[in-house]
């Protein structure tokens, strides 16, 4: 495959703008901020720009001082930036809260079947009994792997792997190799049965990231590697000429969606040169969606498992979203790393 072509300094400048725009958003202690700040941490690690982390630290410290809300499976995603802050600063208060999140998942989070997390959000009214949503692979599964690796805690690592394997079992279609958005265990079906772009990006990105934490001789390595390999092989064949993916992957009448495209493209980057011709198209497509002020456009709003395909087509994609900023930054940061891997 030909080498990727892009202007590294331009990518770094875009990262600056996206980070600045993200810090001009207002977040609660919940998953939109969790994904946004994950992206900022990725940008910090790729560029070494301490000012990104300094601004994040200010926000986190203010939240801690005001008091933190009750936890949910989705809300644990904000723990990703706590792990990065701890690793960068050595301040135990960040690790202490990160441990509380892991203990919540271990002992109090709702589960079903053989210990799979029920999708939960910070809401008393939105309840999804015995439902698995693909989002959880990022929000909680990958988090358990990260903190388990940091602490040398095998229990957390094995629980994280359980989440990957359980969500693969319930959500990855054996024929298309794409991931469904959700699974209703009570009624034993995939609800609307849609292959949602951002959902597939949660799966692809976190599986690609997970492999660095798993020894090759561990059985889980081959399970996750195989799932990711087959999923990516299907996804690249659904890429649009514009370099993006449709919000319903298999429906060309649904709009092209940027956050899902960024997550998928990040997973492709993590596979090295194998997918360069698809990644090259994605670079152009994603950059075309970033405004001069750092707003990433074309990002679908928060999306439940909709009732039918028309529900997904009608999810608005008008406004800036934390998950769009975060997944976009994850992609841009991985581009910078790619350049360093080749020329560093």
Active site residues: 135
Handedness of CA 93, 108, 111, 68 (dihedral sign): negative
Could you give phi then psi for residue 163, rounded to 5 degrees?
Answer: -65, -40
d(CA 129, CA 185): 8
d(CA 197, CA 331): 15
Rounded to an integer, what is the distance from CA 224 to the centroid of its chain? 16
Tell me the residue ranges of DSSP E strands in 134-243.
182-184
Query: Which residues fall within 8 angstroms of residue 7, CB to CB, at 6 or more apart?
Result: none
234, 177 in Cβ contact below 8 A? yes
Cα Rg of the chain (Å, integer) = 19
Q: What share of the chain is helix, strand, coil (3-state, %, to 5)?
A: 60, 5, 35
Element (H, E) at 60: helix 50-66
């Amino acid at each position: 495959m030909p080498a990727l072509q892009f202007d590294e300094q331009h990518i770094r400048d875009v990262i600056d703008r996206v980070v600045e725009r993200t810090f001009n958003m207002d977040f609660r202690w919940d998953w939109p901020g969790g994904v946004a700040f994950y992206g900022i941490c990725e940008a910090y690690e790729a560029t070494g720009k301490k000012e990104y982390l300094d601004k994040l630290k200010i926000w986190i410290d203010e939240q801690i001082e005001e008091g933190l809300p009750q936890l949910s499976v989705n809300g644990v995603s904000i723990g990703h930036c706590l792990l990065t802050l701890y690793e960068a600063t050595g301040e135990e208060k960040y690790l202490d809260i990160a441990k509380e999140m892991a203990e919540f998942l271990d002992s109090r989070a709702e589960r079903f079947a053989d210990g799979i997390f029920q999708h939960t959000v910070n809401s008393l009214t939105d309840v999804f009994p015995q439902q698995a949503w693909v989002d959880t692979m990022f929000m909680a599964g990958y988090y358990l792997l990260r903190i388990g690796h940091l602490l040398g805690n095998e229990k957390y690592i094995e629980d994280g792997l359980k989440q990957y394997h359980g969500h693969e079992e319930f959500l990855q279609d054996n024929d298309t190799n794409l991931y469904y958005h959700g699974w209703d265990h009570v009624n034993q079906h995939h609800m609307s049965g849609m292959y949602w772009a951002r959902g597939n990006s949660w799966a692809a990105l976190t599986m690609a990231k997970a492999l660095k934490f798993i020894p090759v001789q561990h059985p889980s390595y081959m399970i996750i590697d195989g799932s990711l390999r087959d999923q990516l092989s299907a996804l690249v064949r659904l890429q649009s000429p514009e370099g993006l993916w449709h919000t319903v992957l298999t429906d060309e009448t649904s709009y092209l969606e940027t956050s899902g495209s960024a997550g998928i493209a990040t997973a492709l980057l993590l596979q090295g040169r194998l997918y360069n011709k698809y990644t090259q198209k994605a670079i152009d497509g994603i950059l075309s969606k970033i405004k001069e002020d750092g707003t990433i456009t074309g990002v679908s709003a928060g999306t439940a498992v909709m009732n039918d395909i028309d529900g997904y087509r009608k999810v608005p994609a008008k406004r800036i979203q934390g998950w769009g900023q975060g997944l976009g930054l994850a992609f841009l940061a991985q581009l910078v790393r790619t350049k360093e891997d080749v020329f560093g």
